[in-house]
Structure 1
Amino acid sequence: MRLDKFLKVSRLIKRRTLAKEVADQGRIQLNGQVAKASTEVKVGDELQIRFGNKLVTVVIDSIAEHARKEDAKEMYRLLKEEKMDGSINS
């Protein structure tokens, strides 16, 4: 599944267009490498997403074409969520 679609279906990012923008800005890493929106993701992959001054790291547990809101959180496991130093310019 494409990275931007996974982010939308799992509700890590609310809209696919926003997920594409975030990926195009180089703010998403897949297994330690900067990922594009079209990058294919699979179960076991580790994602790091930079949201403003927050860095969220998750592992993909399952992939589904569609997920209800209640089931979306089961698609990934949160490893860590950390605040980044405010001195870094984004």
Structure 2
Amino acid sequence: MRLDKYLKVSRLIKRRTVANDACDAGRVTINGVTAKAGSNVKIGDVLEIRFGTSSVKARVLDIQETTKKEEAKELFEYL
């Protein structure tokens, strides 16, 4: 699955356009490598998203095309 879509579906970032902009600005990494919006996300990958001065690290546990709000937190775990 594309990185920008995964960020939206998992609700790590609320909108796909915002996820796309974050990727284009180089604020998202997959396993320590700066990633583009079209990069593929696989189960077990570690994502790091930098928001200003803070950052979020999460491990991908599952990939789904769509999900309900309550189930979105089961797609990843915070590190």
Under a length normalisation based on structure 2, what TM-score does the superposition of the two structures give? 0.98
Which residue identity lines up with residue 18 of structure 1 in the other structure? V
Which residue identity lines up with residue 13 of structure 2 in the other structure? I
Equivalent residue runs for 1:65-84 within 5 Å:
65-79=65-79
1:39 to 2:51 alignment? no
TM-align CA RMSD: 0.4
Which residue identity lines up with residue 56 of structure 2 in the other structure? V
Post-superposition, which runs of at least 4 consecutive aligned residues in structure 1 deviate over 2 A?
A: none
Identity %: 54
Q: Give the gaps of 5 or more residues in structure 2.
A: none
Equivalent residue runs for 1:4-19 within 5 Å:
4-19=4-19
Q: Can you list the C-alpha shifts for 1:3-37, whole angstroms capped at 9, x where unaligned?
A: 00000000000000000000000000100100000
Under a length normalisation based on structure 1, what TM-score does the superposition of the two structures give? 0.87
Please identify the structure whose Cα radius of gyration is greater: 1
